[in-house]
Amino acid sequence: MRALVLLLAVLFASPVLAQGYPERTIRMIVPYPAGGSTDILARAILQPLTEILGKPVIIDNKSGAGGIIGTTEAARAAPDGYTIVFGNLGPNALNASLYKKLAYDPVRDFVPISKVVDVPFLLVTAPSTGIKSVADLIERGKKDPTALTYASVGLGSASHVTAELFRRHAGIEMRHIPYRGGAPATTDTVAGQISAYFITPLEGLGQVQSGSLKSLGISTASRSPLFPDMPAINEALPGFQVVVWFGVLAPAGTPPEIVAKLNDAIVRALATRSVQETLSKLGVEPKSSTPEEFAATIRADIDKWAKVVKEANITLE
């Protein structure tokens, strides 16, 4: 009976709470270190969000365990709209199949608010490898199954599973060389010690523009308007498409009225010129969504990557 009374109290109180929301500072957990790609993307929307909501939105970096520590804290936070999390494909979809025991459930423990951005991968190689296109890379792999290697930023990372998806889609062998982060992976790729590497524009666009890396293609379904001269990998390998989404989620149980207010604020923030210009310079495009669309994306990616993880026998436990 007590539980029923509490439930009814929450249900009837939520419209009242939402009406005055927000009344104080909103904490956005970023489950990665300050200065990293996720942090940079989250901070791109902070100022317009603060202006639209009328209360400060602040970043709280809670890094560790590949995003698990901060994501777990967000899942356990009070569902009142004052703690939200800037999530992404890794902790909010991939981890569901990488870990047999996870302290949170990516679907059950969160309510999606909106996507913020889709980040593609660039498939890069060093000019010294002589690999000039996706078709050339695949041809080399088919001629000699021992010829190719690929880098990743670590076991189970998005760059790792994307390369596995590519390898299997292309029907070739490539030896995985995991690194502890993007910097050493990029360094060895530039030096020609690695055949190929899936890198995001945030990390690799400068090297591509300077010529120290050659981009063989972009992982979006078609050519990006930001890089119209860069072929889509899909052109040489039909059906291949990967984007790493980033977006905002709240703890499960957050009142729908508050979710709607946050969604509206994010959509409006992403429509501002300042945010669009900032993201364009980073080589990515804003991608807002409804909560329902974002939820569908998460569920679809959990299913998609579970198959890749199982076939490649990737486990982090």
Reply yes or no on whether the pLDDT at 296 is more than 50: yes
Which residue range is the domain that position 226 belongs to?
A: 122-236
The number of domains in the chain is: 2
What's the pLDDT at 272? 97
Of 13-22, 70-79, 220-229, the least confident = 13-22
Whether the pLDDT of residue 17 is over 60: the answer is: no
Q: Is the same domain home to 114 and 254?
A: yes
pLDDT band at 6; cut points 50, 70, 90:
very low
Per-residue pLDDT band for 315 (boundaries 50, 70, 90) equals confident
Q: Identify whether 10 is part of a domain.
A: no
Q: Is 192 within the bounds of a domain?
A: yes
- pLDDT bin (cut points 50, 70, 90) of residue 1 is low
User: 191 and 54 share a domain?
Assistant: no
Q: Which CATH number covers residue 226?
A: 3.40.190.10
Question: Rounded to an integer, what distance in angstroms lies between the CA atom of residue 247 and that of residue 93?
Answer: 12
Give pLDDT tens digits for 26-72.
Answer: 999 999 999 999 999 999 999 999 999 999 999 999 999 999 999 99
Whichever domain contains 109, its CATH number is 3.40.190.150
Which residue among 191, 206, 236 closes a domain? 236
Instruction: Determine the pLDDT at residue 2.
Output: 42
Neighbours of 312 (CB within 10 A): 17
Encode pLDDT of 100-141 as tens digits: 899 999 999 999 999 999 999 999 999 999 999 999 999 999
Q: How far apart are CA 30 and CA 276, in angstroms?
A: 21
Contact 106, 229 (CB under 8 A): no
Contact 65, 229 (CB under 8 A): no
Contact 50, 82 (CB under 8 A): no
At 12, is the pLDDT very low, low, confident or very high (cuts 50, 70, 90)?
A: low
Rg from Cα positions in the chain:
21
Domain co-membership, 227 together with 126? yes
pLDDT of residue 44: 97
Contacts of 199 (CB under 8 A, 6+ apart): 121, 122, 124, 159, 182, 185, 186, 189, 213
Closest CA to 70 of 84, 58, 52, 51: 84
State residue 18's pLDDT score: 72
Mean pLDDT calculated for residue range 80-97: 97
Q: What is the pLDDT of residue 14?
A: 54
What mean pLDDT do residues 281-308 have? 97
Average pLDDT of 139-157? Answer: 97
Task: Calculate mean pLDDT across residues 190-210.
Answer: 97
- Tell me which H or E stretch contains 61: strand 57-61
Q: What is the mean pLDDT of residues 16-32?
A: 90
Which of 236, 265, 290 is at the close of a domain?
236
How are the residues of the chain apportioned to helix, strand and coil, as percentages rounded to the nearest 5? 50, 20, 35
Q: In terms of domains, do 165 and 216 share one?
A: yes
User: What's the pLDDT score for residue 8?
Assistant: 54
What is the spatial distance between Cα 249 and Cα 87, in angstroms, rounded to a whole number? 7
CB of 210 within 8 A of CB of 185? no
Q: Please give the Cα distance from 78 to 138 (Å, whole number).
A: 50
Do residue 110 and residue 128 come from a single domain?
no
| pTM recorded for the entire structure | 0.92
Q: Is residue 17 part of a domain?
A: no
- Rounded to the nearest integer, the mean pLDDT of the chain is 94
Residue closest to 148 by CA, chosen among 193, 185, 113: 193
Claim to verify: residue 96 and residue 231 sit in the same structural domain: no
Q: Which of 173, 204, 236 is the C-terminal boundary of a domain?
A: 236
